[in-house]
Structure 1
């Protein structure tokens, strides 16, 4: 039967009747509203639709229909529009501001409206967060047309009782990358062979955005403009139901919630959400899919544990987030074990679920509104029950890192107050559950196999020193980032300027000064010196700019430093003498000029695009430093001597012996190789470095105990480290750790790379602490046998150069401000590292 269904999906002609495959039941349609087929010139499913055509079509609907309006909420990195099409009855649309006011009263714990069934339900249909999972955006066009043109009593009822917000393409940059690929390789006749180019994108593929970020992990972290724009819109409207449409492997069927039971032992999410509401909506989806003969499953895989998904973040805002996964045609038609799956078939399931979501929401709008009201009221109740009244945090050494963290709190509408020289987040506030998400850590779980991360305490991402407090002195409420990092303007001197290297933005300022031709030195020992701002103590890594040794005159030097300070808001001091009060003088041999990095990074097949994108994004958006991205296919003919630093992120590097020797020879000349994650393991395995992996001898006498085959995936899966936070002891006298003031830092581990501490006593920069666990799941075996004996960061000598080996990813998801500096120090200070024999 299933094979027959899949084969029965015909190739759409240009006739209107072909489109009836999707929405025949919703006739009659208003002839003044163009169908997608009429507007595009081809039937939905015949080809992949570009994002600009999607936006143009929705714009046209807003022009011709009195049921719709369109709103632009942002632009992508590549400048593509991010839009929301609002659809409801003409009366509701004309009264939308008042409806919004009434709706938001249910999210305000201080108010108690009871007209649950009188206000239209707010529904956000979100599509295509992964660019190469394209069926949902096509379904968005069909859904928009149905809602704006259909005059069936069913649709008119939905419009009267609901306000539907259609976000057609959450990831336009990735979608267009994939659309170009799929249409470029589409055959005529179509080629269903899975090995055809149409079904096999080249690296980095279309899943991710411009910087190769997975936007379905970015709702919590808010790093990219796509997410920040959507979060701004979200906290303006607080929809009751939010969809998150995806695709999965071609050999599967269709997934809808409920998800797999997972998460911490005591989840912060109300039980009514992940049990009652998901099961209620699941009944609707099963009946709708049964009616068109589609097969499906639920509850087996996927979890909503991580709060940064499009299907989990709404759950933390009193809404119901819904995940859908459609088996992908990976092109227009592809052979599977069940026959042929076509693009129109995948679109039809997504369209059916879209309309069904609206149906379920409208028919349960009073229940959903009461749930959202109770959600925010219970936030205050739960906070009151807890002994913790708030979280206090500060870092007087690094105001720009603190500012970045506060930006994240304000992005999620969390109340933050300035209290003296520290900041406090009270728990008793409507966003209490987001406060928990930012600060609470967990060690006990209901399950041990995770679809993604098991730890996300965002304060640790920022290496923020925080503590729970039992009383709160709120002080001044912050409403913006103004004046959070505003150092005193630097005064002019003819002798030397000193930049505080403790500040997160110091490296970006260093890069700008070097790019403008200034010679900048780094201090390899602390010192205290008299400045125009008084006696000042400087940490390891303080940047020194001697005025008389520059090729520019003192006025030019001052102008460059003044402008850089204004842009990056880093403390800068003027010194009129090089004689220190304590420690080394400014002319000491311990203060050495920094060579400007000429960096390259390997990209392409075999390389983990997420990690490569994180490096690219960090350098582009925060340091404003270019990095050459060298495709793996070109490596054999690249002249590495143009660069002094090479980055290799996690991946499978299939180098020939000749290519490996090329890398070794280049490093030995005095250059720096930086490896991350599995690239570090590769460097050890291929004996590029004289380091070892942590290995425990296998006990050959141990008896193998038979286990049920059905449990294999669960038993093996829990041994992986899907994402947890651990404490590392850091040598802050090492150049890689310059700028840190505390020897203990949190790191994020989401791999099974276990580096043994170096036999050279000066080469282990970071080692996991004696009691390393901070947050997230790890098995006892991994903790005792692998993590505790291992190192997180090593430097290994290779001829006149060195290899910097990160076991963990210091740039994870663009959010680990706490460990970014380790990576940036490797770039800017790597060639200053001398490893004693």
Structure 2
């Protein structure tokens, strides 16, 4: 008896007995006959798909086996994860296509070249990229990837033969291997025999941080645009080498849901960058294929009423800006092997079958509509070059001469997206008329008008603002030399040996990394609390607030040892460092001034664990680990009461409930801070600190309405829309930053864009020196915010406050300065708090 007979016709109820007894025919019996010399997943793994969660190494091994035994498949490694796991793609087609793949690829790429106009749309196989498991604890799709690979490699049915003749299929089985294995281990270790379907069972409830995210607890499905992680960087490099016509993005959602496929809800942007032909014509062209396939197996589904493709950084939206059709699928999750739902029991095999069915339906739809897909992709890139933007801008000019490493990082991101960039004296220019015009718009354009007010995710993504990159639109431009790589963008004069002092410019993004490197080697340094100009080995140089001074005579190391360390730091981080032989400044403070204050080596800890926002915690860990190269102790909440806080001078708390901290632990935290230490709170943790009365600050309150107005009666069906409108999904605002404050050191401009995706609003401090950053009078830069929130909460509020606590201080961020690892513009504020926190003394003699 197969498992098929144990499903009711709705396709959501299942499992009256153990799933270990079912036949794999449940998935693909209609694709027979199969080549007996090709091992099935069940034969290779030793268990049937759906009986166990399959580890990533087993998935990779099976695909390698298929490539070894079949001439229908080849395999390549396109990257590695943070934890060293392979990222692989299995390429499947008929043997003739594979033996001529480079020739086919050359023909395919002619359709994405605006300078060429081939019309043989039906002669070239369609390129289909099936992407699975970007969220590690949404495991059904990787299992479906194994079934799909086996079907394409082993089936001799006429249907599959036709697909292989007319397509090149690229199977990426696990986009997030680190997260998947975290979840796989959890689900398998808590699996019972007999299976337990009770929702509260440990199998269905992972421990923090759970398997959704990658090694640093980032959501990789938001990283296509930002390209922060090696997983995304490898995928982008692969993507821009192949430009597939169709890309899938398989997910899971709540256990009580059914199945979702596109079309999504309408795009929230009033004037979407994505062509209308994509989200209307092509989506509607493919939808009947999924409906028919799922109808045939009795699965319920829905479309159009949920999710959105507004943010361009998803796996289901980024390919849309590359002339492809990107497709989102969402399967109700069994979150283990079997789980109770409102409709009965949902099993792991059932979830896998829906994903497998949609995979095959995607191939069918692409093959049968390859002419339209190719013509669409060709028109997409031709229109990018031929059409002018409504803004009338011909190019964007950008660059920050004060911070070349931040500019370099921005340039590097543009090149990852194959955006053409040109040199323009000491700045850079990006023309609009280029194949990646829509990506240029994504990077630079900002918006204030939307046709929707409820977003699945961010409503603002102008990446130039992420980097605090000064830029402007040009009506006309004269392009210089094209920039194709960034290795020579930053050039600094090598520092010479001094017996007196060295000075490092704090404006450079890499300066904190270089400073920590020097501190870790035993070098002592101080920070300039006022600007000055000095005579250096490279002539007279002006130094901003925060410039780092290393006095040779104050070191325990010899002058030769000091010089060797400083030279290494400069070479490692390519920062501007100068030597000087005098303490007498040309202008401003001298090097012996009391306005130079010692920088203590950061000894930081971060609270993590249940109740803490893992995204924000991971962003802190990632920043310090990968850019500052500074260790941070991660203290689980369950261990906080026995942690010796005196080992640290800085403690970081991100958004979270912190209900585990009772009155005794709160007092302990307060006493530790009062000793002279620095507590940094981000977003929700800042609200917690205020509500817990750790600090004498307030949240911005809604003004009391003295008039007694009658409550307006509204339709019930509109409730979620009205409530959602007041949520801040993610928008960008300008703040006025006090660049004379230690937290503002290294900034040249008072105006700074910040990212806000929460409802934490800090009231400006009563202490006139404590409000470091306040939203400007006209703060909106990009993204949706209701007028009520803008006027009532944003405009009167502060973004960053430092509040005194005994001999220490609490640094309260209303916004997340480290959002998604991409906010180069604001994470300097956070880093300043780490390095300079101990030198923030808040004057209290005021009225």
- The C-alpha deviation readout for 1:739-764, integer Å capped at 9, x for no partner, is 00000000000000000000000000
Which of 485, 509, 512 is the aligned partner of 1:507?
512
Q: State the partner residue of 1:826.
A: 833
Q: Please report how far the alpha carbon of residue 707 of structure 1 lies from its aligned counterpart in structure 2 after TM superposition.
A: 0.7
**Matched residue count:** 836
Distance in 2 of aligned mates of 1:378 and 1:225: 32
Q: Please report how far the alpha carbon of residue 6 of structure 1 lies from its aligned counterpart in structure 2 after TM superposition.
A: 3.2
Q: How far did 1:552 drift?
A: 1.0
Measured after TM superposition, the shift of residue 513 of structure 1 is 0.3
Secondary structure of the 1:383 match is coil
For 1:772-825, what per-residue CA distance to the aligned partner results, in whole angstroms no more than 9, with x for missing partners?
A: 010000000000000000000000000010000000000000000000100000
CA distance in 2, matches of 1:290, 1:433: 37
For residues 7 and 443 of structure 1, the distance between their equivalents in structure 2, rounded to whole angstroms, comes to 46
> Equivalents in 2 of 1:572, 1:800: separation in Å?
33
Q: Structure 1 residue 686 and structure 2 residue 692: aligned?
A: yes
Q: CA offsets, 1:710-749, max 9 Å, x none?
A: 1111110010110000000000000001000000000000
Residue 474 of structure 1: CA displacement? 1.1
SS in 1 for 2:30: helix
TM-score, with length taken from structure 1: 0.99
CA shift, 1:386, in A, is 5.5
| Secondary structure of the corresponding residue to residue 553 of structure 2 | coil
Q: Deviations over 1:189-217 (max 9, x none)?
A: 00000000000000000000000000000
C-alpha distance in structure 1 between counterparts of 2:476 and 2:532, whole Å: 39
Show CA shifts across 1:305-328 (max 9, x none).
000000000000000000000000
Deviation at 1:702, TM superposition (A): 2.2
Which residue in the other structure is 1:59 paired with?
A: 64
> Could you tell me which of 566, 571, 586 is aligned with 2:571?
566
Match of residue 803, structure 1, among 810, 814, 836? 810
Please tell me whether residue 295 in structure 1 is matched to residue 300 in structure 2: yes
**Equivalence map 1:124-273=2 (5 Å):** 124-273=129-278
Instruction: Please say if 1:336 is aligned against 2:334.
Output: no
Other-structure match for 1:110: 115
Cα deviation, residue 676, structure 1: 0.2
Q: Is 1:788 aligned with 2:802?
A: no
Work out whether 1:524 is the aligned partner of 2:518. no
Contact in 2 for aligned 1:250/1:329 (Cα 8 Å): yes
Is contact 2:14-2:346 (8 Å) kept?
Answer: no
Question: 1:10 offset after TM fit, Å?
Answer: 6.8
Q: Specify every segment of 5 or more residues in structure 2 that has no aligned partner in the other structure, as ranges.
A: 1-6
SS at the partner of 2:350? helix
Which whole-Å deviations, capped at 9, do the CAs of 1:149-191 have from their partners, x for residues lacking one?
0000000000000000000000000000000000000000000
- After TM superposition, the score normalised by the length of structure 2 is 0.98
CA distance in 2, matches of 1:651, 1:366: 51
The match for 2:352 among 339, 342, 347 is: 347
Give the CA deviation at 1:67. 0.3
Whole-angstrom distance in 1 between the partners of 2:327 and 2:702: 43
Residue 699 (structure 1) aligned with residue 701 (structure 2):
no
2:768 matched to 1:749? no
User: Which residue of structure 2 lines up, in the alignment, with residue 539 of structure 1?
Assistant: 544
Q: Distance in 2 between matches of 1:192 and 1:749?
A: 39
Q: Kindly indicate whether the alpha-carbon contact (under 8 Å) linking 2:11 and 2:297 is maintained by their aligned counterparts in 1.
A: no
Residues 384/790 of structure 1: CA separation in 2 closer, same or farther (3 Å cut): closer
Shift of 1:384: 6.8
How far apart are the structure 2 equivalents of 1:142 and 1:616?
Answer: 37
> Counterparts in 2 of 1:669-684, with a 5 A limit?
669-684=675-690
1:662 and 2:668 matched: yes
For residue 264 of structure 1, report the CA deviation from its aligned partner: 1.6
Q: Offset of 1:12 from its aligned partner? A: 7.3
For structure 1, the residue ranges without an aligned partner over 5 or more in a row are: none
| Alignment partner of 1:737 is 2:761 | no
Instruction: Render the CA deviation track for 1:548-585: whole Å, top value 9, x for unaligned.
Output: 11111111111111111001000011110000111110
1:499-523 CA distance string (max 9 Å, x none): 0000000000000000000001101
Q: Does 1:276 align with 2:274?
A: no
Within the candidate set 455, 475, 481, 1:476 is matched to 481
Give 1:35 deviation, angstroms: 0.1
- Is 1:448 matched up with 2:453? yes
Query: C-alpha deviations, 1:648-701, integer Å up to 9, x for none?
Result: 001111121111111101101111000000100011111110000111233261
Question: Do the aligned residues in 1 keep the contact of 2:142 with 2:173 (CA within 8 Å)?
Answer: yes
Q: 2:423 aligns with which of 408, 418, 423?
A: 418
Q: 1:478 to 1:820 in 2, by over 3 A?
A: same
Distance of 1:269 and 1:223 partners within structure 2:
23
Match of 1:771 among 766, 774, 778: 778
Q: Tell me if the contact between 1:6 and 1:341 (Cα under 8 Å) persists in the aligned partners.
A: yes
Give the SS at the match of 2:241.
helix
CA distance in 2, matches of 1:688, 1:230: 45
User: 2:290 matched to 1:285?
Assistant: yes
- Whole-angstrom distance in 1 between the partners of 2:14 and 2:805: 62
Partners of 1:149 and 1:385 in 2: how far apart?
Answer: 51
| 8 Å CA contact retained: 1:74, 1:83 | yes
The correspondence for 2:103, drawn from 91, 98, 102, is 98
State the distance in 2 between where 1:222 and 1:618 align.
Answer: 14
State how far apart, in whole Å, the 2-side matches of 1:82 and 1:565 are. Answer: 34
Deviates more, 1:525-534 or 1:325-334: 525-534
In the TM superposition, residue 11 of structure 1 has moved relative to its aligned partner by: 6.4
Report the equivalent of 2:367.
362
Match 1:719 to one of 706, 709, 726: 726
Task: Say if 1:415 and 1:425, in contact at 8 Å, map to a contact too.
Answer: yes
Relative to structure 2, which stretch is displaced further, 288-297 or 3-12? Answer: 3-12
Residues of 2 paired with 1:386 and 1:396: CA distance? Answer: 27
Counterparts of residues 370-519 of structure 1 (less than 5 Å): 370-383=375-388, 387-519=392-524
Deviation at 1:253, TM superposition (A): 0.3
CA displacement at 1:637 relative to structure 2: 1.3
Deviations 1:484-512 (A, max 9, x none): 11211111111100000000000000000
Q: Is the 8 A contact 2:93 2:164 kept in 1?
A: yes
CA distance in 2, matches of 1:824, 1:74: 30
- Aligned CA RMSD, in angstroms, stands at 1.1
SS at match of 1:817: coil
Compared with structure 1, are the counterparts of its residues 451 and 374 closer, same or farther at alpha carbon in structure 2 (3 Å cutoff)?
Answer: same
Shift of 1:7: 3.4
Contact 1:258 1:298 in 2 (8 A): yes
Task: Rate the CA distance shift 1:141–1:11 in 2: closer, same or farther, 3 A.
Answer: farther
1:42 maps onto 2:77 in alignment: no
